[in-house]
Amino acid sequence: MARTDEGTRVVAGTFRRNLHERRCLEIELPEFLFCALEARVAEANDGAPLDERCTLNHYIESELVNLVTLRDVAELES
């Protein structure tokens, strides 16, 4: 949440979001990063049954989830 120099809130917490909804995000990445991520996905899928195979989207989501703490989630829900 943004704050002014005086410490008052610029954006009130009245814009509630459904944190269970999903949205699409488009990002631009360098080719070497795609290659590295695809290699990780291939490693994750090595020997996995077809119905349990990971996609690049799944892999990126799981890595991003690791960056979020329980405190972050609690602050979003308050």
Give the domain extent around 53: 31-77
Query: Does 14 fall in a domain?
Result: no
Does some domain include residue 17? no
How many structural domains does the chain have?
A: 1
The more confident residue out of 74 and 24 is 24
Residue 46: what pLDDT? 97
How far are the Cα atoms of 39, 45, 60, 62 from residue 74, in angstroms, in the given order? 34, 33, 22, 19
Q: Report which of 31, 42, 35, 37 is spatially closest to residue 60, judged by C-alpha positions.
A: 37
pLDDT in tens, 1-46: 555 555 555 555 555 678 789 999 999 999 999 999 999 999 999 9
Would you say residue 44 lies in a domain? yes
- pLDDT, residue 69, reads 87
Structural contact between residues 45 and 54, judged by C-beta atoms closer than 8 angstroms: yes
pLDDT digits (tens, 9 = 90+) for 49-70: 999 999 999 999 999 999 988 8
CA distances from 53 to 7, 32, 44, 77 (A): 47, 23, 8, 32
**11 located within any domain:** no
Does the residue 21 lie in any domain? no
In a domain, 13, yes or no: no
pLDDT at 6: 59
Q: Tokens 């799944």, residue?
A: 58
**Residue 60, in any domain of the structure:** yes
In a domain, 73, yes or no: yes
